Amino acid sequence: MALAGSDSMDEGKGETFLLRAIKIGGVVALYWFISITMVFLNNYLLDSKDLDAPLFVTFYQCLVTVGLCYGMHLLSHFCPGVIDFPSVKFDLKVCREVLPLSIVFIGMITFNNLCLKHVGVAFYTVGRSLSTVFNVLLSYVILKQTTSFYAILCCGVILGGFWLGVDQEGVAGSLSWTGVFFGVLASACVSLNAIFTKRVMPAVDGNIWKLSFYNNINACILFLPLIIVFGEVGHLVHFSRLGDPTFWGMMTLGGVFGFAIGYVTGLQIKFTSPLTHNVSGTAKACAQTVIAVVYNQSSKSFLWWTSNLMVLGGSSAYTWVKGMEMKKVHIPQEESREKLLGEKSDAGV
C-alpha cells in the first residue's frame, strides 16, 4: 500500500541532505512509535484480569485487518489519485493455496501473544529472541541452505543471551516457563512463516497486501473452532465489559496498529534499506525494554541487562554478517557481467 504520489528513492536524489535526513528520521520515528505502541497495547489487552481470552483478542485483530484491507481496496477505487491499493476480491482457490501459510501464521501470532501475556514487555525481547537461530536451523533442514561460521557464532551469542535471561528471570522470581515455552514456539513459527511466505507469494501475484488479506481471512475462520474448543466463549459471555465502547475501541485500535505495522515496515525499508531496517528494529527492541522497565518501576540486575545486550548484539551482528555475505556474492556477479559486456564490446557485438 502506498499513498499515490509517493516518489521512488531515485526521484529523491536531488533532495538536500537535510530534507532527506528529516524524511528518514520521520519514517524511523513512525515505525518505532507504531511498533512499540502495538506491543504495549497488546500487553494491556492480553493482561486483563477480567478477560482470559487471548485467542479471541487475536481473532478480532485479524478481523479488523481483513476489514481494513477491504476498506483500502474500496478507497483506491473511489480515490484513485490518493490511495493505491491492490484489488482484494475473495477467491476460494487462492484461500486454499494460502492455507498452509495461514496455519503457521495462526501459530505465530497466537504464540507471540501468549508469550507477551505471560512474560510481559520487559522480558519479551529475550523471550522471543530465537527467531534468528530457528532461521538458520530451518533453512538447513527445509531448504538445505548452509550458514557461515560467523553467522553461527552470532547465533551462539543469541542463545547465550537467551539462557542468561531465563536464568536471571528465575533468580528474580519472575520467570514464567509457560511464557518462555510460547516464546520458543513463536520464534519457530516466525521462521516457518518466512519460508512458507516465499512459497505462496506466486498465488497472490507477489503482492504482500493480497497475502495479508487472504491470510487473515483464513485465520478468522480457523480461529472460530479454536475459541470454542479452548472454552473462551464462556469467558466472553461472563465478561462484564462486553458492551463497553472503550473496550471495543482498544481492541479495534490494536487491530489498526497490527495493520499499520505492515505499512510502516515497508516504508522504512523503502526509505533506508533492509539492513538498516533490521538495525532499527534491534534498537527499537532495546528502547522498548528500557521503557517497560521504567514504566513498571522494575529493578533489574546487571546480568539481566547483559542478557538483553547479548541478544540484541548477536542479532545486530548476524544482520551485519549476512549483509556482508550478500555483498560478496553480488560484487563478483556484477564484475562478471561487466567483463562479459566488455568482451562483447571488444568483439563488436
Note the pLDDT tens digit of each residue in 170-200: 988 888 999 999 999 999 998 888 888 888 8
CA distance 162 to 130: 8
3-state SS, one letter per residue, for the chain:
CEECCCCCHHHHHHCCHHHHHHHHHHHHHHHHHHHHHHHHHHHHHHCCCCCCCHHHHHHHHHHHHHHHHHHHHHHHHHCCCCEECCCCCCCHHHHHHHHHHHHHHHHHHHHHHHHHHHHCCCCHHHHCCCHHHHHHHHHHHHHCCCCCHHHHHHHHHHHHHHHHHHHHHHHHCCCCHHHHHHHHHHHHHHHHHHHHHHHHHHHHCCCHHHHHHHHHHHHHHHHHHHHHHCCHHHHHHCCCCCCCHHHHHHHHHHHHHHHHHHHHHHHHHHHCCHHHHHHHHHHHHHHHHHHHHHHCCCCCCHHHHHHHHHHHHHHHHHHHHHHHHHHHHHHHHHHHHHHHHHHHHHCCC
For residues 83 and 254, is the Cβ–Cβ distance under 8 A? no
Integer angstrom CA distances of residue 71 from 74, 260, 313: 5, 14, 40
pLDDT surpassing 60 at residue 338: no
Mean pLDDT across 130-150: 86
Partners of 83 in beta bridges: 3
CA distance 271 to 326: 20
Give residue 345's pLDDT band: very low, low, confident or very high (50, 70, 90). very low
| Percent of the chain residues past pLDDT 70, beyond the cut | 89
Q: What is the pLDDT of residue 3?
A: 46
Which of 71-85, 91-105, 202-216 is least confident?
71-85
pLDDT surpassing 50 at residue 343: no
Mean pLDDT across 306-333: 81
pLDDT surpassing 80 at residue 341: no
Q: How far is CA 141 from the centre of its chain?
A: 23
The alpha-carbon radius of gyration of the chain (Å, integer) is 22
Give residue 78's pLDDT band: very low, low, confident or very high (50, 70, 90). confident
Mean pLDDT across 279-289: 84
Of residues 167, 116, 173, the one with CA closest to residue 288 = 116
For residues 197 and 116, is the Cβ–Cβ distance under 8 A? no
Integer angstrom CA distances of residue 70 from 77, 162, 213, 221: 11, 40, 8, 17
Higher pLDDT, 310 or 79: 310
Mean pLDDT across 278-297: 85
Q: What is the pLDDT of residue 7?
A: 45
Q: What is the pLDDT of residue 32?
A: 92
Mean pLDDT across 15-29: 84
Please provide the average confidence, as pLDDT, over all residues in the chain: 84
Q: What is the pLDDT of residue 347?
A: 45
Mean pLDDT across 275-282: 76
Q: What is the pLDDT of residue 144?
A: 83
Higher pLDDT, 323 or 211: 211
Tally of CA atoms within 13 A in the half-sphere of 112 that contains its CB: 21
Give residue 85's pLDDT band: very low, low, confident or very high (50, 70, 90). confident
